[in-house]
Amino acid sequence: MQNNRPATLITVAEAAGVSKTTASDALRGSGRVSEETRAAVQRAADALGYVPNGSARHLRRASTGTIGLYVPEVLTRSDYYMSFVFGVVATASDNDYDITLITSGRARPPRVDGLVLGDPLTGDPVVEELMNAGLPTVTCERFPGRARPDGVVWSRHADVVGDLLDHLAASGAERPALLVAGDESDWAANVHRGYRDWCTRHGVAPAVRTVPFEAPAGDVHAAGRDLLRDEPGLDALVCAPAGSAAQLLPLLRDAGRRVGTDLLLASCVDAPDLLLTEPPVTAIDLRPRRAGAACAALLFELLDGTSPPGTERVHPIELIARASTAPISPR
């Protein structure tokens, strides 16, 4: 039997026999309240099913209750960013925050309390503009440009790419090549660096082909053909751009290479379809949903002062080995 009007702070206060101020302090842990009173208020709130009214809270606090979320338009289709956005949205909604999706054609900065930028690209004018808006900002991956965000969530891409190459070597690969996007994204730059460092450490001559970020499937195919032609000893291929491993699979097969048998294939971005290919493709799980959640969480901590500006946080990622990198059988 529950009342049709939802419980307010005043209802709770009356039920607990205290004033609204005390009730508010008790529930938020602010002000000075005795432990017994706090417990009593909490009990009353639970019993009444009290949920704070977000609108009233934001009104009083002069916050908009909204955070802006920008992901480069080009990438909207990718599975990674979809999941990333979901992570941000879910965390925001837990904190009573609204999300405004910021698209490229923005006139003036939207009315938001803070910004989350997913893997910002150096040249992107929208990113530059947003970073200079004077709002608390969190980026996923470091921003390679001049401006400094107030918070960063980043992953050890270079290290994990090293792990991946170790894994390939353990499976018998001696000439691993890399397909990667340009260095305007910090992620791509780190993947690239991780590869070169590994090559240096192991005395292997690097074989790298670059495709632009928004490359259509055709360009990826061309780069793949390029590698097959120019690198005769090629026995492993690491694909960085999202989707490129799946795109190359048919090409490699048509070229007579047996993936997972005499040619190892791995992707730097895991995606559901890499499980469905034949063979399933080894990939680095970037945990995009959690990354989004971490960015949002960090932004909220910056907003309420729990974390200081300049905070950086490492987001764990993981190598997932599948059949495409099983030990090479001699051919």
Partner DNA sequence: TTCCGCTGCCGGAACGTTCCGGCAATGGAG
Partner DNA sequence: CTCCATTGCCGGAACGTTCCGGCAGCGGAA
Q: Annotate each residue in 228-247 with x if it binds its own copies (CB under 8 A) or - if it does not, as one string.
A: ---------------x--xx
Exposed/middle/buried for 66, CB within 10 Å: 0-12, 13-18, 19+? middle
DSSP β-ladder status, 114-118 and 66-70 = parallel
CB 37 within 8 A of CB 70: no
CA 251, CA 136: separation in Å to the nearest integer?
45
- Of 9-17, 154-162, 174-182, 253-261, the segment contacting DNA by CB under 7 A is 9-17
User: What Rg value do the Cα atoms of the chain yield, rounded?
Assistant: 25
Dihedral in degrees, nearest 10, Cα atoms 225, 214, 75, 294: 80
When the beta carbons of 36 and 254 are compared against DNA, the nearer one is 36
Q: Which single residue is written with the structure tokens 């947003």?
A: 130
Q: What are the tokens at 326?
A: 């099983």
115 binds DNA (CB under 7 A): no
95 binds DNA (CB under 7 A): no
In the region spanning residues 25 to 84, those forming contacts with DNA, defined by CB under 7 A, are 25, 27-28, 30-34, 36-37, 50, 52-53, 56-57, 59-62
Using DSSP, state whether 299 is helix, strand or coil.
helix
Decide which of its own copies, DNA, none touches 150; Cβ closer than 5 to 8 Å per partner kind: none
Q: Any residues with CB less than 8 A from the CB of 200 and at least 6 apart, and which?
A: none
77 binds its own copies (CB under 8 A): yes
Decide which of its own copies, DNA, none touches 85; Cβ closer than 5 to 8 Å per partner kind: its own copies
Q: Which of 20, 42, 74, 82 binds its own copies (CB under 8 A)?
A: 82
Q: Which of 250, 308, 310, 327 binds its own copies (CB under 8 A)?
A: 250
Q: What are the tokens at 196?
A: 């070169």
- Of 125-133, 139-147, 271-279, 298-306, the segment contacting its own copies by CB under 8 A is 271-279
CB 191 within 8 A of CB 242: no
When the beta carbons of 176 and 243 are compared against its own copies, the nearer one is 243
Determine the residue type at 257.
Answer: R
When the beta carbons of 28 and 258 are compared against DNA, the nearer one is 28
Q: Which of 58, 156, 196, 313 binds its own copies (CB under 8 A)?
A: 58
Q: How far is the CB of 19 from DNA (least distance, A)?
A: 3
Q: What's the Cα-to-Cα distance from 14 to each of 8, 34, 42, 44, 73, rounded to whole Å? A: 10, 17, 13, 9, 51
Q: How far is the CB of 278 from DNA (least distance, A)?
A: 55
Q: How far is the CB of 90 from DNA (least distance, A)?
A: 22
5 binds DNA (CB under 7 A): yes
Determine the residue type at 267.
Answer: S
CA 318, CA 321: separation in Å to the nearest integer?
10
Give yes or no for a cis peptide into 279 (omega within 30° of 0): yes
Decide which of its own copies, DNA, none touches 32; Cβ closer than 5 to 8 Å per partner kind: DNA
Element (H, E) at 153: strand 151-154
- Interacting residue ranges for its own copies, rule: CB under 8 A: 6, 49, 51, 53-56, 58-59, 64-66, 76-77, 79, 82-83, 85-86, 89-90, 93, 96-101, 108, 111, 217, 243, 246-247, 250, 254, 272-273, 275-278
- Interacting residue ranges for DNA, rule: CB under 7 A: 5, 8-10, 17-22, 24-25, 27-28, 30-34, 36-37, 50, 52-53, 56-57, 59-62
